[in-house]
Amino acid sequence: MSNAKSIDTPCIGVCSTVYGDNVCRGCKRFYKEIIDWNGYDDTQKSVVFFRLNELISNVARNKITVFDADLLRQTLENFSIRYRHDQSPLCWAYYLLRDARHKIISLEEAGIHTTESYQNYKLGQLYQELDNELFTRAEIEFNNQ
């Protein structure tokens, strides 16, 4: 294993469900998943992680591509950013943007390219686009369950 800790909970300490959101603006879990998390077994937790992986990957693939997953993994470890080894490198890229967008100079140095539509975006803008769309899609998923 690496210097970076693996994620055992999606929580990032920015919970908005306490303010009445059905979907957490931080981790994008549904309020019930947050409430019940400590009682979930490994299978139940895996289902949540899989849903989040799919959500993040589907949103991110329209904005970024990972051309070197090993370089991205090394960058995450250098910044001690938590990630799950079994998640898509697109999720890792999102975590890098979320946690180190103010520290990295360019995405290319981390093994990531932006898609053509997002090439002129600053890293903070790119992260906000990703995060806003993730929250919107998570809300839609919540309302359709």
Q: How many structural domains comprise the chain?
A: 1
One digit per residue, the tens of pLDDT, for the chain of length 145 reads 444 555 688 988 887 777 788 999 999 999 999 999 999 999 999 999 999 999 999 999 999 999 999 999 999 999 999 999 999 999 999 999 999 999 998 999 999 999 999 999 999 999 999 999 999 999 999 999 8
Task: Please check whether residue 13 lies inside any domain of the structure.
Answer: no
Q: Which residue has tokens 């932006």?
A: 114
Task: Please check whether residue 105 lies inside any domain of the structure.
Answer: yes
Closest CA to 9 of 17, 39, 22: 39
Task: Please check whether residue 2 lies inside any domain of the structure.
Answer: no
Task: Please check whether residue 119 lies inside any domain of the structure.
Answer: yes
Task: Please check whether residue 23 lies inside any domain of the structure.
Answer: no
β-pairing, 64-66 vs 112-114, is antiparallel
CA distances in angstroms from 42 to 39, 48, 76, 86, 88, listed in the order given:
10, 10, 25, 14, 19
Task: Please check whether residue 21 lies inside any domain of the structure.
Answer: no
Closest CA to 111 of 74, 78, 67: 67
Domain extent, residue 75, equals 49-140
Buried b (16+ CB within 10 A) or exposed e, 43-77: eeeeebbebbbebbbebbeebbbbeeeeebbebbe
Q: Is the pTM of this model over 0.75?
A: yes
Q: Which residue has tokens 């898509």?
A: 88
